[in-house]
Amino acid sequence: MADEFAEHTYGAWRAQKSWKSPLFITRAEGVNFYDYSGKRYLDFSSQLMCTNLGYGNKAIADAISKQSKILPYVHPGFSCDARIKAVRALLEIMPLDRFFFSTSGTEANEAAVRILRQYKSPAYKIISRYRSYHGATSASISLTGDPRRWCAELARTTIPGVIFSPDPYCYRCPFGMEYPSCGLECARYLDYMMKEEGNVAAIFVEPVVGTNGIITPPKEYYPMLREICDENGVLLVADEVMSGWHRTGKWFAMDNWRVKPDMLTTAKGCTGAYAPAGITATSKEIKDHFEDSFFCHGHTFAMHPLVLAAIPPAIEEYKKLIAGGLPGRVSKYIGKRLHELYDEHPSIGEVRGLGHFWAVEIVKNRKTKKPFNVKADEYTKPLMTGKIAKEALKRGLYIHAWYDHFTVAPPLIITEKEADEGINTFSDVLKIADQEVEG
């Protein structure tokens, strides 16, 4: 069945010769999913960092089912109970209070670009960062720093006006400096870019970088960036598609630094991945601009009732889970165990993260930080991370791998015992890299 499916579909982000026999999944429960043979896999990365509440959540499933029987779809130009309840629930926890609803993080960022360029016209340039991923459609892939943008550029489907900046990546500082003596040069350089470029409308940031390394900046970074944006009249847009929904221990990662963005995009965890939702949130000032100016954006499935029906129960589930204390306790335990792996495995260059959002970056030489693979290898060479992740899957552990690191981001419902299972298996397969370290 898996072969038949692959024969008639495109596998995303890959040469199609590798899309032959995708793993056939039949069901999921808690923090585990199962294949056709009944084999269990521990989900150690929440699939694509989205199944934050795990599998089998009755409250969310029941809300979607109930809505499907009452009103499965209605024109975006109408209101309905599901839409009103979703807005009310979001107002309780969101730092911004004007929303556009779509069906993915990609679409949320696409909408943000459309909105901010209309609002800030004639300013139109957008600063993004090299270690970033913002989506797959024209505007969102143009904001993306990782190799997936290169493919879109070759296809001539990117948009103009996007420029890239250095990351707050202390392990591999682009300025060759060290924190804190660096004085946050990575933030100060953004002020230089804004002043020298001119016509900068906004800067897009993942508050904690997702796929591209779980880069967690120094505590002064975002307060400083907020001041720089204000001084230059530039909008600060926070892409919280991965980092939101208590992934970092707060509703939104920006809450860790008490910084309020001008726009916020999110998706994935807002429904626990039980339905495909995207949210673009803005300040009242931005929405007020469109009282007389035409709002030039929309979707057939914008504000879809089945999707929005999942948001209020998901928010309530997060509240109960956090109040119970499990995520706060286990996140500290995961961090402790991952740092222990650093001492055990010479192939680990750095462990970084917070909450349930961690990266384990592997290197061929810890002293020189020489990597096993670099960005350009992603679609052209076999990856050490891919080799390790494949072996982990054989042993019943799913862990997301990128070209130089692994993303440890299990569902927030994971227990210490389950975390131990995942980390122990991960430790075993890291020996593959250990065997090839230099020095």
In this structure, are 410 and 363 located in the same domain?
yes
Q: Do 159 and 138 touch, CB atoms closer than 8 A?
A: yes
pLDDT number for residue 432: 98
Domain boundary among 320, 354, 386: 320
Domain boundary among 320, 353, 387: 320
* C-alpha–C-alpha distance, residues 355 and 327, integer Å: 8
pLDDT number for residue 1: 62
439, part of any domain:
no
147, part of any domain:
yes
In this structure, are 214 and 283 located in the same domain?
yes
In this structure, are 314 and 333 located in the same domain?
no
In this structure, what CATH number is given to the domain that contains residue 64? 3.40.640.10
pLDDT number for residue 20: 85
178, part of any domain:
yes
In this structure, are 16 and 106 located in the same domain?
no
In this structure, are 175 and 273 located in the same domain?
yes
pLDDT number for residue 350: 98
52, part of any domain:
yes
394, part of any domain:
yes
423, part of any domain:
yes
pLDDT number for residue 379: 81
In this structure, are 98 and 134 located in the same domain?
yes
In this structure, are 125 and 185 located in the same domain?
yes
In this structure, are 66 and 47 located in the same domain?
no
User: What's the total number of domains in the chain?
Assistant: 2
* φ/ψ (deg, to 5) at 51: -85, 60
In this structure, are 185 and 251 located in the same domain?
yes
Domain boundary among 283, 304, 320: 320
In this structure, are 278 and 376 located in the same domain?
no
The angle formed by the CA atoms of residues 162, 248 and 51, to the nearest 5 degrees, is: 90
Q: Do 207 and 252 touch, CB atoms closer than 8 A?
A: yes
pLDDT number for residue 166: 97
271, part of any domain:
yes
In this structure, what CATH number is given to the domain that contains residue 419? 3.90.1150.10
Kindly report, residue by residue over 209-240, the tens digit of the pLDDT: 999 999 999 999 999 999 999 999 999 999 99
Kindly report, residue by residue over 273-295, the tens digit of the pLDDT: 999 999 999 999 999 999 999 99
pLDDT number for residue 4: 87
In this structure, are 265 and 143 located in the same domain?
yes
In which residue ranges of the chain is pLDDT below 50? Answer: none
pLDDT number for residue 2: 64
How much of the chain is helix, strand and coil, in % rounded to 5? 40, 15, 45
Q: C-alpha distances in angstroms, 259 versus 169, 221, 225, 274?
A: 19, 10, 9, 29
Beta-bridge mates of residue 101? 279
294, part of any domain:
yes
Domain encompassing residue 181:
58-320
The percentage of the chain sitting over the pLDDT mark of 90, rounded to a whole number, equals 92
In this structure, are 330 and 193 located in the same domain?
no
